[in-house]
Amino acid sequence: MTTDQLQAYLREVHPRINEDELLQEMERHATEHHVPIIDLESARFLQQLIALKGATRILELGTAIGYSAITMALASADGTVTTFERDETRIRDARTFLQKSATKERIELIEGDAFERIEQLQGSYDFLFVDASKGHNIRFVETFSPYLKRGGLMVVDNVLFKGWTYEPSEAPKRLQPLAKKMASFNKWLLLHPQFQTTIHPIGDGMAVAIKQ
Amino acid sequence: MTTDQLQAYLREVHPRINEDELLQEMERHATEHHVPIIDLESARFLQQLIALKGATRILELGTAIGYSAITMALASADGTVTTFERDETRIRDARTFLQKSATKERIELIEGDAFERIEQLQGSYDFLFVDASKGHNIRFVETFSPYLKRGGLMVVDNVLFKGWTYEPSEAPKRLQPLAKKMASFNKWLLLHPQFQTTIHPIGDGMAVAIKQ
């Protein structure tokens, strides 16, 4: 069985969701322009976690082209997503795609480095999705998790990093330092007393942490 | 990357949980006696779903040796698990293992066919785990989901059936009819209007359905 077969099966059997066509257009754009977006399995997982928690205040670090922001906004009838992006090309592309989405009024894109623009945040959040520069995950969690409510959910994407977090020697040489850093992040998060964390082998690995 | 490497990594990095030694003893028993028990990844997923929902009234169809019942009871400080098993050898083994668990007072094992012993159920449940005779999943869901509260979670295990639900021709000949039946069940559940269902590629495939 290949992942492609599995992906095709899961796509076939799940009912089409709202804006499936827009999301497919964004998937093609991402492939063509080598923009990393979340896997379909990860998208479904995020949507179900949001539905399960009834999360309506969602914070995202790393908009990219807005695929995950739209995905998360679609999972909640009236939820809002606040999302940070610092790359100018991605901001431009994200704005183009967001304009096509019925969720656009519910997504606030903050331009710039999340650490520098943190004063833009207001109030606390039910759900925090960390999907930005992988080498800074500890700092992202330390800086932004105080904005998460107790009992709120934090999800960190790509924590298995194609398996390189547990087999860093199989990573291309230039990525080995990052793979090791991400492995350290995983151990740090799993032992962090403020979170009850599980790494799920979904997509590229998703850590789901419940804030205590 | 093999699943074994991934399993070893995930076991290594997650903190040891209560009764990890008992669960490992049960895993060895299951391997030796060819008793199907849930995968480690599935166990972690179940535990986190229970924690996320704050589920305290848990119903299980298919105790086997009690591995998933203990796993689920451990995920909640004061939750109770009601679980059905009809096989006499498994009932005996489950009772032996349950005796060794601190959760034993919180687990009620009902002996016999779940359909015939349904009158034993009292009240409604937050969480329903379906892990019994795979060919009867539609009947299980139709019969037992009325006992699930609105907003409650139903989890059905093994819905990918080693990938044979989407590639039934790759299954051993004698299992092909079952693989097809399980594929039909998946489509039926995913389109069922009373549930908001997602199939997650965790373990042998887990369908998670939120009751509307």
pLDDT on residue B3: 75
Chain A from 119 to 158: CB within 8 A of any B CB: 153
User: In which band, very low, low, confident or very high, does the pLDDT at B126 lie, cut at 50, 70 and 90?
Assistant: very high
Q: How many CB pairs under 8 A join A and B?
A: 95
Q: For position A28, which CATH number holds?
A: 3.40.50.150
State which residue of chain A sits closest to B211, comparing Cα positions: A52
Instruction: Dump the DSSP string for B127-188.
Output: EEEE-S-GGGHHHHHHHHGGGEEEEEEEEEE-SSGGGTTT-GGGS-GGGHHHHHHHHHHHHH
User: In which band, very low, low, confident or very high, does the pLDDT at B16 lie, cut at 50, 70 and 90?
Assistant: confident
Residue A164 lies in a domain: no
CB contact under 8 A, A187 and B13: yes
Separation of alpha carbons A51 and A74, rounded Å: 10
pLDDT on residue A1: 46
* The dihedral formed by the CA atoms of B117, B123, B128 and B130, expressed in degrees to the nearest 10: 10
pLDDT on residue A2: 57
Residue B9 is given by DSSP the state H
Please name the amino acid found at residue A79.
Answer: G
pLDDT in tens, B22-48: 999 999 999 999 999 999 999 999 999
pLDDT on residue A4: 84
Residue B163 lies in a domain: no
Beta strand B148-157 pairing with B206-211? antiparallel
Rounded to a whole number, what is the distance in Å from the CA of A23 to chain B's nearest CA? 18
Cβ neighbours for B131, distance < 8 A, ≥ 6 positions apart: B38, B60, B61, B62, B64, B68, B156, B157, B158
Number of domains in chain A: 1
- Judged by a CB distance cut-off of 8 A, whether residue A200 touches chain B is yes
Residue B164 lies in a domain: no
Q: Is A133 in contact with A113 (CB distance < 8 Å)? A: no
Residue B60 lies in a domain: yes
Separation of alpha carbons B167 and B180, rounded Å: 9
**What average pLDDT is seen over chain B?**
96
Separation of alpha carbons B155 and B131, rounded Å: 9
- Token output for A156: 């960190």
Rounded to a whole number, what is the distance in Å from the CA of A41 to chain B's nearest CA? 7
pLDDT in tens, B88-119: 999 999 999 999 999 999 999 999 999 999 99
pLDDT at B57 over 60: yes
pLDDT on residue B2: 58
Residues of A in contact with B46 (CB under 8 A): none
Residue B120 lies in a domain: yes
CB half-sphere exposure, A33, CA atoms < 13 A: 13
Residue B161 lies in a domain: no
pLDDT at B1 over 70: no
Separation of alpha carbons B5 and A207, rounded Å: 18
CB contact under 8 A, A5 and B163: yes
Residue B147 lies in a domain: yes
Structural domain including B85 reads: 3-156+200-211
Q: Each residue's pLDDT tens digit in chain A (212 positions)?
A: 457 889 899 999 998 888 999 999 999 999 999 999 999 999 999 999 999 999 999 999 999 999 999 999 999 999 999 999 999 999 999 999 999 999 999 999 999 999 999 999 999 999 999 999 999 999 999 999 999 999 999 999 999 999 999 999 999 999 999 999 999 999 999 999 999 999 999 999 999 999 99
CB contact under 8 A, B201 and A202: yes
Residue B167 lies in a domain: no
- Residue from B35, B48, B43, B31 nearest B70 by CA: B43
- Judged by a CB distance cut-off of 8 A, whether residue A18 touches chain B is no
CB contact under 8 A, B202 and A198: no
